[in-house]
Structure 1
Amino acid sequence: MKKKQWQGWGPGEQAEQHYLVQPRALAGGGDVRHVSEFLRASGWRDKSKKGGPLTMESPDRAVRVAYDPYVLPGGWTIHGTADGPGDAWSAHLGQQAPVEIVAGLTDALTRPQSAHAPNVWGPLEEQNWPTRFEGGHYMATSPDGTVWMQYRQGADGEAMWWTGGKDSQGYGWAASFTPNTPMYLVQAFSAELASPEPVMRPRGRVPQSPEIRTWSVSVRPSQLSAWQQARITAARAATWARTSARRTRPRTTARPHTPAVSARTRR
């Protein structure tokens, strides 16, 4: 039997129904490849075992990103190691955390840290999230009350970041960050959390929540593929640029001076 060669999407491709969902925090998990393929294009290694959870490892092996839907409650775990035992950090995000918001943190792992001091609350305040002290914790809540970001003291006295989204029916997710999670990563996460831009979900993957708003859109498969490829191409280009810059960086340390050896005097 001859194998039929796939000819790609042609002019006659059928548009598929998708939905733009807002607020994005209540849009559901989405396609995990939004996170994993960007990391792969940025030079991360896929350490996943066949049939097991997704596991991606940074080029320097200092950070691991895992997604496990096979356990309860399931979800994302990002773990960073460091030289000292007290410097390791981790973040845990529920299974229904939208991949676009998760990518705020994971994409930032692939970029150099900004020279500017991070401000976790800045992106929230820009979107008019009220901030306040509540029960000894500092907290910001979205204008519609469905999403929050909190810096709190745990029962053992240890500080932590706690965030998430939940509708009036209890549907939603939560996430936590250990106190030593790099602040520029938490800020990158909060920027995606507060973004007013809707996210897209295919038909049948939109949560039934009274708090969400949806707009039906018709999308061709080739359009979806092009959008996904643009994100991957951007990751590859950024990785190539950083690698090239390191290779062409001029030497900044002078080589040790070796004095010339004088001719041996004949005795």
Structure 2
Amino acid sequence: MKKTQWQGWGPGEQAEQHYLVQPRALAGGGDVRHVSEFLRASGWRDKSKAGGPLHMESPDRTVRIAYDPYALPGGWTIHSRAGGAISEWSAHLGRQTPVEIVAGLTDALTRPRTAHAPNVWAPLQEQNWHTRFEGPDCLATSPDGTAWMQYRHSPDGAAMWWTGAQDNGNGWTASFTPTTPIHLVQAFSAELASPDPVMRPRGRVPASARIRTWSVSVMPSQLRAWQQARITAARAAAWARNSAQSARPRANARPYTPAGRARTRR
């Protein structure tokens, strides 16, 4: 079949109305492909069935990410099995968790861990979140009071990370097991606290008195270029990681024996 070019692209394209939404925590779920396309470009396997929920698997098969908008309560499930020094952990994020905030965690899964000690509260405090410590528990709330991040202990002694945003029925919650690597929780909190607005198309902006919006006209080619830049960055990082791994010397390489040197028999 001969492919035809979509008339919405190129010189004849028409601008589309979008909205910049702030705070981002109340912007609604957004396009799931913001997460899935980055993972796919980073070498993750797409295990989804046609027409079914999203299922992604890490290259080493230790982490699985699922997004199911049909089940109740629905949303994101991220699970990592135990391996080596890593304990089993999982995270559950509500369906209306903005994909830009979800990507804070999922993007970090594709990057090597830095040597710096992670601090979940640092990104929040940098954005003037109010932090309160009560014994082993800690609660941070956004300046407008719509979002929170909490580490708490239940009466039975179990601990968990709990976070979310709420405004008159429009919102979401997320939880992380205490074994979740701290640098991943920090990556999530950094995106949660970011003051940068996120973009949503017309008709996809939640009804909320607590959000601020700015109307912008965007060309489809601009949207595609922004998306492609993110995918290209993921591919470049994956290529660099694979190249570094393939360049490492084999640990079980046999010692070099000069040609013509006789081997001594025992």
Q: TM-score, normalised by structure 2?
A: 0.92
User: 1:72 — aligned with what?
Assistant: 72
- Hey, what's the Cα distance between the residues in 1 that align with 2:105 and 2:47? 19
CA 1:263 to 1:189, structure 2 compared with 1: closer, same or farther past 3 Å?
A: closer
Within a 5 Å distance, the mapping from 1:41-80 to structure 2 comes to 41-80=41-80
| Alpha-carbon offset, residue 255 of structure 1 | 4.1
CA distances 1:114-171 after superposition (whole Å, capped 9, x unpaired): 111110001001111110035973100000000000000124311000000011x131
In the alignment, structure 1 residue 99 sits paired with structure 2 residue 99: yes
User: 1:28 — aligned with what?
Assistant: 28
Within a 5 Å distance, the mapping from 1:25-174 to structure 2 comes to 25-83=25-83, 87-133=87-133, 137-167=137-167, 169-174=168-173
- Hey, what's the Cα distance between the residues in 2 that align with 1:45 and 1:254? 31
| Alpha-carbon offset, residue 12 of structure 1 | 1.9
Within a 5 Å distance, the mapping from 1:240-251 to structure 2 comes to 240-250=239-249
Q: Give the AA of the match of 2:245.
A: R
User: 2:194 — aligned with what?
Assistant: 195
CA distances 1:166-205 after superposition (whole Å, capped 9, x unpaired): 11x1310000000000001000000000000000000000
Consecutive aligned runs of 4 or more in structure 1 exceeding 6 Å deviation = none
Please list every run of 5 or more consecutive structure 1 residues that lacks an aligned counterpart in the other structure.
none
When the two chains are superposed, the root-mean-square deviation of aligned CA atoms in Å is 2.3
CA 1:36 to 1:52, structure 2 compared with 1: closer, same or farther past 3 Å?
A: same
CA distances 1:93-131 after superposition (whole Å, capped 9, x unpaired): 000000000000000000000111110001001111110
User: 1:182 — aligned with what?
Assistant: 181
| Alpha-carbon offset, residue 260 of structure 1 | 4.1
| Alpha-carbon offset, residue 5 of structure 1 | 1.3
Q: Give the AA of the match of 1:229.
A: Q
Q: TM-score, normalised by structure 1?
A: 0.92
- Hey, what's the Cα distance between the residues in 2 that align with 1:210 and 1:224? 27
SS of alignment partner, residue 119 of structure 1: coil
SS of alignment partner, residue 118 of structure 2: coil
- Hey, what's the Cα distance between the residues in 2 that align with 1:136 and 1:262? 65
Within a 5 Å distance, the mapping from 1:223-238 to structure 2 comes to 223-238=222-237
**Greater alpha carbon shift after TM alignment, 244-253 vs 90-99:** 244-253
**Greater alpha carbon shift after TM alignment, 86-95 vs 33-42:** 86-95
Please list every run of 5 or more consecutive structure 2 residues that lacks an aligned counterpart in the other structure.
none
Identity %: 77
| Alpha-carbon offset, residue 11 of structure 1 | 1.4
